[in-house]
Structure 1
Amino acid sequence: MTMTSNARTLMLGITFLCIVGSLRSETDAADRPNVLMIAVDDLRPELACYGANHIHSPNIDRLAESGVRFDRAYCQIAVCGASRASLLSGCRPETTQCWDYKTPLRAKMPDVLTLPQHFRNNRYETTFLGKVYHSRTDDPQGWSLSADRIAPADRTKGKGYVLPRVPLPNQRPANSNRKSGPAFENGGDVPDDAYADGHTADRAVKVMQHLAEQDKPFFFAVGFLKPHLPFNAPAKYWELYDRASIQIPSREDVIDGVQYARSGWGELKNYPGIPNDVPYLDDELTAELIHGYYAAVSYTDAQVGKLIDELERLNLRDSTIVVLWGDHGWYVGDFGDWCKHTNYEIATRVPLIVSAPGIPEKQKSNALVEFVDIFPTLSELANLDIPEHCQGQSFVPVLKEPHREWKQAALSQYRKSKPPRIPMLGTSIRTERFRYTDWRNRTTGELDAIELIDFKTNPGATRNVAADPSYAIFLPHLAELCAKSATGVRVETGTTANP
């Protein structure tokens, strides 16, 4: 059978269009910005760029100077695995059904289009090092390149502890979560790469060098472990702080608060030397732990600096979106509490910094933004379509105009058990003025308790005013916002949640 002249011409035309389309697609991809996403475990917004002048964080501060710092950014759930699953899927916990640190996102949402997968599908080279998801094996669909092959780990470096273990009193429960080392370690005169994050940063530099040689733009996620427990860092970072000048937080608890909603000290209680039979830690141990936390923050800050320095050396800084976030907040003795594991302000407020081509520098924003907003925001910054399943909204308009009005509320959730083992779900929204939280029985849906914090009159968040008659006018609207946000309904922007 012979092909007619018209058919042959048509086929040649289609072939030509396919070639041109492919070349255009490759060209468009090459013109797109790179993305460097830096995830930090347990980093609260206690940094110099956030006004905490007692913290030595020059590199994160430098990043903030180059873009927009968000002063009211919130995670959706204050536990590492679930928080990362929410951020990287663009979905709220009610949708992901990831409520703890050990449930992989793909176990609950095997077919969801994730943030790195979306970039991979759009001709990005995507890879990661360190702790991005809680599990390194989660989301294999998201990554096009193995960073481990480019920069293999050196087993002589990157240790959790570097000093010989000294036996400590076993003041911890006999359970499978107990820790084999202390809650903090001053490693002495060791290089940064003696601990894991220093080694990760050095390997990340090598990966960036490889990515810079490729024709594709890249999406590179780097996750640092510190300042997560144990608070381990070389001596030079401990020496940045004078323990005698460390202020002990107030241990005043929330008046009329829901007592079963506290953190329970999380994993800290499983470290040797941490007493389990006291209402709060004494001043000496509290100061020692805070000292370790600060040292770990400064240690991680130095690793962030290595990545930014390498971007600049490779002449990639002006063509790269850099976003840094801490996966949730952290208690360092505030209210006598430790770790996270609540849906309150200290546990859910996070540092978030975005620096991108075309975005104003040296800016700060009070707009309420959430982790579920990061997926659509990075997509828009990279000129990619925003997937329909994303339950957040792009805050690119805020990046361009940091002082504009924005969304009414940011949502956070946490599951707890009320004695005797009654399963509860706390759903909390932060508005400009309030934090409203309702606690419901997970089995029956029955409302158990309401908490309302008024930051206008009580910035220290020490009083629950939900039962105060003068606040009754606010409750119906806040309850409606809370219900909408939890189910993924996008709440309109540009109006106030305070009647």
Structure 2
Amino acid sequence: MKHSKGKQPNVIVFFTDQQRWDTTGVHGNPLELTPNFDELAREGTDVHYSFTCQPVCGPARSILQTGVYPTTSGCYRNKIPLHGDARTLAHYFNEAGYETGYIGKWHLADAGSQAVAEPQRGGYRYWLGANSLELCSDSYNAIVYDNDGREVKLPGYRVDALTDAAIRYVDGHKEKPFFLFISYLEPHHQNHIDDYPPPHGYRKRYEGRWTPPDLQALGGSSAQHLEGYYGMVKRLDEALGRLLDTLRSLGLADDTIVLFTSDHGCHFQTRNDEYKRSCHESSIRVPTALIGPGFTGKGRVSELVSLIDLPPTLLDAAGIPVPEHMQGSSIMPLLRGERDDWPDDVFIQISESQVGRAIRTARWKYGVTAPDKDGYGHTGSDRYVEQYLYDLQADPHELTNLIGLEAYEGVAQVQGERLARRMTEAGEAAPDIVRAPRRPAAGLTLRFRSAQPEEAFE
């Protein structure tokens, strides 16, 4: 696909960290946090049901860079560097004549240094980043490293500092097609203080404001952290608006594909003792939208789309052949109405908190765990035990676990077979799934379906 100047379209990935899907207006958040994302989704392509396939930073990033599952790349948990021979999006765009740049958090290099050595930068030619941005910088102390490994302190709130750098990159590379990956830390918590530090004055804006239904029911740390988290989301959306304005001012808006997505969500310590690493919607569902050549005016995609589908989508949209080894599928044929066999589920691998696997369909969420395996030391298992079954139609906030109930035995059987098939398709060994102990429904308190937040906006 060529843009109006006869060149291939520019491509920008605007990548946030730990952002829940329901922080956005198109998904029903009433706080007007994301007017720029909402406009992008409505004028471009709203990938309405978008999911990570590994809810933790490093593995999710490996998926978006390589287009393969973490069990294939080897990056199945944090602190495993991407193999030096791995082919990333940058390599394919380089070979297609693009300038390639990376700004922000990488999390795919050796953990010993925040300055990423050139062989571990995934082929990106321009570099202004850090391996674990949360460890070398703070909200008002943005520290990154340049192509020569020199420390660079960028002025301003960290979101703004990285956005300023991205704007400079776009302005300096506007004469040739470019592929720019901007990787923010926000709205991830700042590790050393276990807080979500927003820009000055933003926290007060959201004190006592709307709380998502799952957090209303389960609590966790949301009362302590949600207002800061919302402030970070707001500033990210303002940064997105600045970047889009930059493209407009340089005459590049019609010639540039912009992808907005996140690596995983945030459950605020409601599903385990931290913030992600679970199969629940709060961990795996993320906001995703695209605009630009091939995506403008395409409306809402109602099919389930995985993070692993985005690398082939970007290559396809730029007219670059999609490598056969990539394990996802481009959504471009879906947008053109040329594909009616799109998968009706997404597959999730979980590490660190457990060795877990899950399948998510339009209605059901089914998950298993390997109780005798360690999520840090084991890639997978040949034996799993049923852990979750949720009816997302009746229980969209996943408050009632149906696994083991006699009335749902047939559903669990079907979903277990579906999960096993997906695991083998991803290159894993065919699993032995041990059924959960059966229990009668007597005494079960069913939580009836409440409206999903987005329904008020449809």
- Deviation per CA, 1:466-493: give whole Å up to 9, x if none: 2122322233332232123224459xxx
Q: Which runs of 5+ in 1 are unaligned?
A: 1-25, 149-157, 164-191, 255-278, 418-423, 491-499
Partner of residue 203, structure 1? 165
Is structure 2 residue 156 aligned with structure 1 residue 194?
yes
Amino acid across the alignment from 1:226: E
Partner of residue 178, structure 1? none
Amino acid across the alignment from 1:210: G
Is structure 2 residue 7 aligned with structure 1 residue 42?
no
Cα offset, 1:316, TM superposition? 0.7
Aligned match for 2:208, one of 227, 233, 244:
244
Aligned match for 2:369, one of 439, 460, 470:
439
Is structure 2 residue 186 aligned with structure 1 residue 218?
no
Aligned partners of 1:92 and 1:486 also within 8 Å: no
- Deviation per CA, 1:213-246: give whole Å up to 9, x if none: 3xx31101111111111322223433532x1334
Aligned partners of 1:67 and 1:355 also within 8 Å: yes
- Deviation per CA, 1:367-388: give whole Å up to 9, x if none: 1111111111111111111101
Amino acid across the alignment from 1:36: I
Change (3 A) 1:253 1:291: closer
Partner of residue 296, structure 1? 232
- Deviation per CA, 1:240-295: give whole Å up to 9, x if none: 32x133438556989xxxxxxxxxxxxxxxxxxxxxxxx955xxxx4341111001
Partner of residue 121, structure 2? 140
Hey, what's the Cα distance between the residues in 2 that align with 1:336 and 1:415?
A: 13
Partner of residue 432, structure 2? none
Change (3 A) 1:489 1:161: closer
Cα offset, 1:103, TM superposition? 1.4
Identity rate of aligned residues, in percent?
A: 28
Aligned partners of 2:367 and 2:389 also within 8 Å: yes
Aligned match for 2:50, one of 73, 78, 87:
73
Aligned partners of 2:40 and 2:289 also within 8 Å: yes
Hey, what's the Cα distance between the residues in 2 that align with 1:458 and 1:249?
A: 11
Query: Counterpart of 1:427 in 2: which secondary structure?
Result: strand
Partner of residue 103, structure 2? 129
Is structure 2 residue 448 aligned with structure 1 residue 486?
no
Aligned partners of 1:360 and 1:399 also within 8 Å: no
Partner of residue 453, structure 2? none
Partner of residue 160, structure 1? 138
Partner of residue 18, structure 1? none
Aligned partners of 1:328 and 1:349 also within 8 Å: yes
Q: After superposition, where does 1:169-318 map in structure 2 within 5 Å?
A: 193-213=155-175, 216-230=176-190, 231-241=196-206, 243-247=207-211, 280-281=220-221, 286-318=222-254
Hey, what's the Cα distance between the residues in 2 that align with 1:125 and 1:416?
A: 36
- What is the aligned length? 388
Aligned partners of 1:360 and 1:400 also within 8 Å: no
Cα offset, 1:97, TM superposition? 2.4
Cα offset, 1:194, TM superposition? 2.1
Cα root mean square deviation, aligned? 3.1
Aligned match for 1:366, one of 289, 302, 305:
302
Change (3 A) 1:55 1:111: same
TM-score, normalization by structure 1 = 0.71
Aligned match for 1:64, one of 14, 34, 41:
41
Query: Counterpart of 1:412 in 2: which secondary structure?
Result: strand
- Deviation per CA, 1:170-200: give whole Å up to 9, x if none: xxxxxxxxxxxxxxxxxxxxxx952222111
Cα offset, 1:405, TM superposition? 6.6
Cα offset, 1:432, TM superposition? 1.0
Partner of residue 327, structure 2? 391
Amino acid across the alignment from 1:235: H
Hey, what's the Cα distance between the residues in 2 that align with 1:51 and 1:459?
A: 14
Query: Counterpart of 1:194 in 2: which secondary structure?
Result: coil
Change (3 A) 1:314 1:430: same
Partner of residue 8, structure 1? none
Hey, what's the Cα distance between the residues in 1 that align with 2:352 and 2:250?
A: 48
Cα offset, 1:67, TM superposition? 0.8
Aligned match for 2:94, one of 115, 120, 125:
120
Aligned match for 1:472, one of 405, 409, 431:
409
Is structure 2 residue 295 aligned with structure 1 residue 330?
no
Cα offset, 1:339, TM superposition? 1.3
Hey, what's the Cα distance between the residues in 2 that align with 1:161 and 1:383?
A: 38
Amino acid across the alignment from 2:417: E
Hey, what's the Cα distance between the residues in 2 that align with 1:251 and 1:350?
A: 16
Aligned partners of 2:47 and 2:288 also within 8 Å: yes
Cα offset, 1:416, TM superposition? 4.9
Partner of residue 431, structure 2? none
Change (3 A) 1:251 1:50: closer
| Higher Rg of the two aligned structures | 1
Query: Counterpart of 1:332 in 2: which secondary structure?
Result: coil
- Deviation per CA, 1:50-105: give whole Å up to 9, x if none: 21122421222222233111221111111111100012111112212212222112
Aligned partners of 1:376 and 1:394 also within 8 Å: yes
Cα offset, 1:30, TM superposition? 5.7
TM-score, normalization by structure 2 = 0.77
Amino acid across the alignment from 2:401: N
Aligned match for 1:414, one of 310, 328, 350:
350
Query: Counterpart of 1:295 in 2: which secondary structure?
Result: helix
The range that moved more, 362-371 or 476-485, is 476-485
Aligned partners of 2:139 and 2:198 also within 8 Å: no
Change (3 A) 1:49 1:252: closer
Is structure 2 residue 362 aligned with structure 1 residue 426?
no
Hey, what's the Cα distance between the residues in 2 that align with 1:431 and 1:27?
A: 36
Q: After superposition, where does 1:87-126 map in structure 2 within 5 Å?
A: 87-106=64-83, 110-126=84-100
Amino acid across the alignment from 2:410: I
Change (3 A) 1:459 1:121: same
Q: Which runs of 5+ in 2 are unaligned?
A: 110-115, 130-135, 142-153, 191-195, 428-458
